[in-house]
Structure 1
Amino acid sequence: MAELTRHQIGGLLLSALRDRGLGVRDLFEGRQEPLSWFFRVLAYDQSELDILESGALDTLHAPSAMVELSIDEMALGLGNIGTEGLTTYLLQPKSEVPGGDPLEFDPEVMLGCVHIDVAPPALWLDERESNPSRNDALASRLSRVAQDVGAVSDTVEVHIEGALDPEGGWNDPRENVRPAGVAVHFTLDIPLIGTGKRELADVFARAAEAAADAVEGMRSVFRGDGE
């Protein structure tokens, strides 16, 4: 593994998103745990984001992708120094390891992962009327988007949260529940072993592909949701 810094890794992710025609805003980084660093951006179709940033619009009513990169800094540091460097931190030199076996990294250790949540703008949900058949159709379309896009990821989920209105229903016409929160979620794992800049670029390219395709999939779902 070539030496990498977390900011180089973040730069690779931004480059991958740009290559797929996604513009980003609200860049944010921080720590979730003492050894876990995260980098988060909100991505939109670049052409729509250009319109917003030109001042022509105050609010962008378009699907967005929340992309979060989490890095295990312990794994990043160990990957950078390698097992040879790791032995300098151990009391027992590698040559004296019982059995004479060299130290190896566990193949199940992850350098990090990329989480992607693609959601419609709140206005699209606020404008929906409660209708059980439309609710079922929405869930079905979102599942198809997840299946089509999710082939490049390790985990795929569809999230739908309901809001209770005074009358009507989600599945029961006697109740009035409409989708108040909708998202399609993808996760891509980044293994420690064998990951360098080229491999990271490949993971981020797949992540950007999932984000861009899911944004367009979310748009098509709501465009076709008028029946």
Structure 2
Amino acid sequence: MINRDSDVPIYQQLKDWMMSQIESGLWKEGDTIQPERELAHAFGVNRLTVRKALADLVAEGWLDRRRGVGTFVTRPQIQQPLHRLTSFSDDIRAMGMEPSSRVLKMEIRKATPFEAYKLRLHRTTDLIIELRRLRLANDIPIGVESAILPFHRCKALTGVTFNALHSLYHQLRTQCGIELANGSQIIEASTASEDCAEILDIQPGDSILKMQRTTVDVDGEVVEWVTSFYRADRYRFRVELPIANPTKSTEEG
């Protein structure tokens, strides 16, 4: 399995072999893999080579090393950047996975007072579209998303079949002629209700991430108010933190 005449570094060959075990399903999530010493002996390489291959897979989220316990097969968490507005589908594809959705509810109804406030509607008699979907990555349940949209601007969505090909943001642009500009998002820790746990295939009371986002278009009009619940073991957020005042920080040492 190791080709010593290849230009590919030995640690990379070993890493590729490990990935093939994971992708083929021979190594399943939760499985304990062999210790460094045994892998080094099996492949006729030194332990430092094995350690580098393992370290790469740990960094990429495919393995989880626990001191004194062992190394386990895991799955990379879906990562959403917080410095720009992206769709769930874009985030999943960026991870090399296949996004899909299952519509749990799509209803046209009158807005509640709170929904009217969030969407900046003038009257609570105005209609809204409630779109609730299960979001999946490689057919694994990741999150439940409930989007509230103003019917008068998004009525074309009622004829759309939501699938893995196009995100809601794509449909807003192509079907409704809405160009999104930015969003404001709040993220907090929460626990899964019985209903949410059943949908996400977790236990009631398990830790989840709750996200609420308001999205506006290029004219500053609110287009979407969404509440999402993501599995904490499958999803994480990443934020880049530039120094607020680089010059002052440098001067103060």
TM-based fold match above 0.5 = no
Q: Which has the higher contact order (CA 8 A, sep 6+)?
A: 1
| Higher normalized helix content (fraction of residues) | 1
Structure 1 length as normaliser, TM-score? 0.30
Structure 2 length as normaliser, TM-score? 0.27
